[in-house]
Structure 1
Amino acid sequence: MAFLWALTCLALASTVSALLCSSIGCGVPLISPSVQYSERIINGQNAVSGSWPWQVSLQTRTGSHFCGGSLINENWVVTAAHCEFNPSSHVVVLGEYNLASQTEAVQVKTVSKAVTHPNWNTYTLNNDITLLKLSSPAQLGTRVSPVCLAAANLVLSDSQQCVTTGWGRTSTISNAPASRLQQVSLPLISQSQCQQYWGTRITSAMLCAGGAGASSCQGDSGGPLVYQSGNVWTLIGIVSWGSSNCNVRTPAVYTRVSHFRNWIDQIVAQG
């Protein structure tokens, strides 16, 4: 699979949707993903259609995918600031699996406002996070539902296995994005290990994963890095930046969601 380096449902009746969400909560796909934590190829594998129901595609109004994102409730999506989402020219597409398909029952949503973190730095790529408020609520159901957010005090162990998903490049020799949603498993690595690769560019607002034979690449930016505890998936990272050639031996860098949990809650509460 590949990252966009800063340099990737049938809607149920509202009553049924509400019952589904109240009974399931966040982070529990109704269609189970199939994850092998031994994947060691750059482009991972095709995801099971509908198994990552919080994954969204950010697209131009003419239908070109350029970044990913994650649905965190029926009204809000989180993505990377460097994706530079523009509400006047971009849309959020929910329930997508195959970008080449014209028959999927996707939800195409305009955005009423994009809120980028006030300390976002385009040069250091620090604080790489933007919240998108949908103009109308997502219709939650089998193929569209929110991911859980990492708690502000979440402590993750080094080597924790995680999964990232997106439609980014699937080859180091081609710029073509994936048609079907891809997934790849990656281990977290410590800040000190990551700094061996990237030096002082790594801040407390970032976390690192990969470098063990798999990667993401251009086109995945803004998308999720999640881990599973029990049957619940939690968003811990947002695809931010990494090596320009998607080197599978170099760790990728993600926005650390726990670091921004209080800010996210504040913006969402303000509406």
Structure 2
Amino acid sequence: MAFLWVVACLALASAVSVLSFWVTLVPCASPAGCGVPAISPSVAYSERIVNGQNAVPGSWPWQVSLQTTTGSHFCGGSLINQYWVVTAAHCNFNPRAHVVVLGEYSLASNAEAVQVKTVSRAITNPGWNPNTMDNDITLLRLSTPAQLGARVSTICLAPANLVLPSNAWAVTTGWGRTNPNSQALAAVLQQVTVPLISQSQCMQYWGSRITSAMICAGGAGATSCQGDSGGPLVYQTGNGWTLIGIVSWGTSNCNINTPAMYTRVSQFRNWIDAVVAQG
């Protein structure tokens, strides 16, 4: 999926207003535990990724769609336990006007057994800075628990002390724009494999705006785009997956050769645990 955002702020609201795209592992209630999909994804790692591909239906069961109450997708998110979803702060989730949809694959289909959940609280990290896009993370508390199963399950959270290996690859997913020249969202869930980029390399593209709360990934022929914001960047360990990043920001034209930015989940692990513990 040639998807991404901009250095301003780009969640795709129903009318595409602002441009900005854009958890130690918590035990989960699903039989296999967090980060282990019942339906295996098909991921190809190669030295050069050319855009993205359709995901295997149900293979990223923690992926959620944030939608208006009229059904318009505007951001992604990740289910971290039966009651909590993590997304990007810049998605500006409003519990009175928005819902969380679980188990979605095709945005165009009305035949899928999705779960539509209202949200009782949206808690944004107190360090969130919309001017710099730093600390771009919000937690959403579902009004009723998610029903876990083959197509809806949780993702493991990166531990607070996580050190990612250099030259590692990760996967990001979402329904964001697949063509920078069109506002149309992807019809079905897309996935793309991206290389993780060091902070020093990233600064060659973005300068001092890069902080320790951000992970840089991509620039190898594929990227995230508007509508992908808030969605997951996951890293495979053994037979499971860990959420290491949240789609945050990037170039306004979804440039596939420029790395994009993801909120570094490990840096917020203690905050996440504290908020979730309060119930």
Q: TM-score, normalised by structure 2?
A: 0.91
Q: Paired residue for 1:155? A: 163
Give matches, 1:1-271, under 5 Å: 1=1, 2-5=3-6, 6-7=9-10, 21=29, 23-38=31-46, 40-42=49-51, 44-271=52-279
Unaligned runs of 5+ in 2: 12-27
Retained in 2: the 8 A contact 1:76–1:268? Answer: yes
| Distance apart, 1:216 and its partner CA | 1.0
Are the equivalent residues in 1 in contact too, given 2:95–2:122 (CA < 8 A)? Answer: yes
- Aligned equivalents of 1:148 and 1:29: distance in 2? 11
Is the Cα contact below 8 Å between 2:5 and 2:253 reproduced in 1?
no
- The CA RMSD over aligned residues, in Å, is 1.2
Separation in structure 1 between the aligned mates of residue 78 and residue 172 of structure 2, nearest angstrom: 11
How far off is 1:41 after superposition? 2.1
Question: Residues 31 and 221 of structure 1: is their aligned pair in 2 closer, same or farther, counting only changes over 3 Å?
Answer: same
| Residue of structure 1 in register with 2:16 after alignment | none
User: Which amino acid letter does the alignment assign opposite residue 256 of structure 2?
Assistant: V
- Once the two structures are TM-superposed, the CA of residue 7 in structure 1 deviates from its matched residue by 4.0
The size of the alignment, in residue pairs, is 259
Name the structure 2 match of 1:15. Answer: none
CA contact (8 A) 2:30 2:148 kept: no
CA 23–33 in structure 1, closer or farther in 2 if over 3 Å, else same: same
> In the TM superposition, what is the alpha-carbon distance from 1:87 to its structure 2 partner?
0.1
Could you tell me how far apart the structure 2 residues matched to 1:41 and 1:91 are?
33
Q: Give the drift of 1:21.
A: 3.4
Normalising by the residue count of structure 1, what TM-score does the alignment of the two structures yield? 0.93
**Structure 1 residue 22 displacement after superposition:** 5.3
Q: Residue 30 of structure 2 contacts residue 153 of structure 2 at CA under 8 Å; is this kept in 1?
A: no
**Cα distance, 1:137 vs. partner?**
0.2
On the 8 A contact 1:4/1:67 being kept in 2, the answer is no
> Does the CA contact (< 8 Å) of 2:4 and 2:251 recur in 1?
no
Give the letter aligned to residue 95 of structure 2. Answer: P
In the aligned structure 1, how far is the partner of 2:31 from the partner of 2:111?
29
CA distance in 2, matches of 1:168, 1:126: 21
Structure 1 runs of 4+ aligned residues shifted over 6 Å read: none
Question: Counting helix residues as a fraction of each chain, which structure ranks higher?
Answer: 1
Q: Which residue of 1 aligns with 2:19?
A: none
> Is the 8 Å Cα contact of residues 10 and 226 (structure 2) preserved in structure 1?
no
The one-letter code sitting in structure 2 at the alignment partner of 1:140 is L
For residues 3 and 166 of structure 1, the distance between their equivalents in structure 2, rounded to whole angstroms, comes to 10
